[in-house]
Amino acid sequence: MSRADALIASLQRKYETTGTLSADFEQENELRSLGRTTRSKGVLRLHKPGRIRVEYTEPEKQLIVADGSKLWVYTPRLKQVIVGEMAGGASTPFLFLAGKGDLRKGFEVEVEEFGLLARPDGVWKAGQPHRLSLKPREAQAGFQQMWLEVDPQSFRITGFEYTDPLGNRSRMRFVEIREGAALPASVFQFQAPQGVEVLRLPGAGSPGR
């Protein structure tokens, strides 16, 4: 087995065995069409398969919730929530992280750069991560290509980057990653507040859910 194959196999095992994850994140978006860059912070929680909660706290509050079948995007400033059905595939990188299955069946995977372990004398606080490129074998509405940053010791995903069909680029870095914590089902449920406009995409079902 080549070094690249061994790395991908180790990442696959980690991907399969991580049932729940919580992390703070920092995100940077390069908006090509607008010629500007935005930055945001928030908290990510996921419970496989398919349940996610993304709370943006800076600079503007926004909430994304998925319960495995439905997806809600709530923007308090607009007093609006968009409700849709979750796609069968990894239509967004967040849903990819909360998914399951064989990475190589869903993506063309390449190791672009091998990482370095942190030195035991503590001169470096952290090792240089592995960097892998993932191209979906089937077209995705949310992204064209994705890059993962993987810790060379734990094989934990510490960040990702992706481009969308419009050429925009987003980067996300995870901090304070917590795995295996109990996350109740209520974390991945959403009820629209009173007075909020609910926009239901085709096939999204009844109001409030």
**Structure confidence by residue, pLDDT tens digits, 82-120:** 999 886 555 567 777 887 667 888 889 999 988 875 555
Please state, in angstroms and rounded to a whole number, the distance separating the CA atoms of residues 185 and 201.
24
Please state, in angstroms and rounded to a whole number, the distance separating the CA atoms of residues 194 and 208.
10
pLDDT below 50 — which residues of the chain? 122-125, 207-209
- The pLDDT score that the predictor gives to residue 122 is 47
Measured from the Cβ of residue 28, the count of other Cβ atoms closer than 10 Å reads 14
Q: In degrees, to the nearest 5, what angle opens at C-alpha 93 toward C-alphas 157 and 2?
A: 50
Give me 207's structure tokens. Answer: 């109001």
For residues 75 and 47, is the Cβ–Cβ distance under 8 A?
no
pTM beyond cutoff 0.95:
no
User: What domains appear along the chain, each with residue ranges and CATH number?
Assistant: 3-200 (2.50.20.10)
